[in-house]
């Protein structure tokens, strides 16, 4: 048998399993301010396959970071998560989301201001919508803060991955990332909102 024929047969045998494996993964999308800061808490979770920083919820096709950060496209900075529901539930992803945002500030997260930094859950199907609504109600009942929750629950639209230099920023530029996070007061405010972890 020729090598090329052997290769084709091997690929044909492997392909169905690769497709099946990919189908078991699901997608979640959350806006919690600067997308650099939303990747780390999800990357730590067993069952999360990947996190991708990007933009969603706007009206312009293929927006750039410059356009989104100027607040002219209607997009929000988000992290899109590919995960294995057999290992981590959507409810767990929601719990991590809430604990990493300030749900009391409209069009702002920490030092970043503008609609591009709004907090939002972008649900992908009816099951996610119901889970997001339940998590919202649960937070309403148990919140340790007095201000109203302004986090949006919105149906996901087209997601645009951010430029390469934004991906895994906290790993590629750890010192700049840590300085930004500290200077932005993110952890200090999270402690004010939710208390010490």
- Positions marked active-site: 34
116 backbone φψ class: left, alpha, beta (φ>0; ψ -120 to 50): alpha
Residue 89 near residue 135 (C-beta atoms within 8 A): no
Q: Is-contact 55 77, C-beta < 8 A?
A: yes
d(CA 69, CA 187): 22
CB-based contacts of 117: which residues, under 8 Å, 6+ apart? 31, 33, 34, 76, 77, 107, 108, 109
Query: Could you give the CA distance from residue 19 to residue 134 in angstroms, rounded to a whole number?
Result: 32
Q: At what angle are helices 35-43 and 174-183 packed, to 10 degrees? A: 110
In angstroms, the CA 60 to CA 64 distance is 10
Identify the three-state secondary structure at position 78. strand
Taking Cα atoms as reference points, which of 71, 77, 37 lies closest to residue 54? 77
């Amino acid at each position: 048998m020729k090598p090329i024929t052997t290769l084709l047969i091997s690929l044909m045998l492997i392909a169905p399993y690769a497709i099946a494996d990919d189908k078991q993964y699901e997608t979640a999308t959350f806006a919690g301010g600067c997308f650099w800061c939303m990747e780390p808490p999800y990357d730590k979770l067993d069952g999360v396959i990947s996190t991708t920083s990007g933009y969603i919820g706007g009206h312009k096709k293929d927006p750039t970071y410059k356009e989104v950060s100027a607040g002219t496209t209607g997009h929000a900075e988000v992290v899109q998560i590919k995960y294995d529901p057999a290992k981590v539930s959507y409810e767990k992803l929601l719990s991590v989301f809430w604990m990493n945002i300030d749900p009391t500030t409209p069009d702002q997260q920490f030092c970043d201001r503008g609609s591009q930094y709004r907090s939002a859950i972008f649900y992908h199907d009816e099951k996610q919508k119901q889970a997001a609504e339940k998590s919202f109600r649960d937070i309403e009942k148990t919140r340790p803060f007095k201000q109203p929750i302004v986090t949006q629950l919105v149906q996901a639209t087209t997601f645009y991955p951010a430029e390469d230099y934004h991906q895994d920023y906290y790993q590629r530029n750890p010192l700049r990332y840590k300085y930004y996070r500290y200077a932005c007061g993110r952890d200090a405010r999270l402690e004010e909102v939710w208390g010490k972890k």
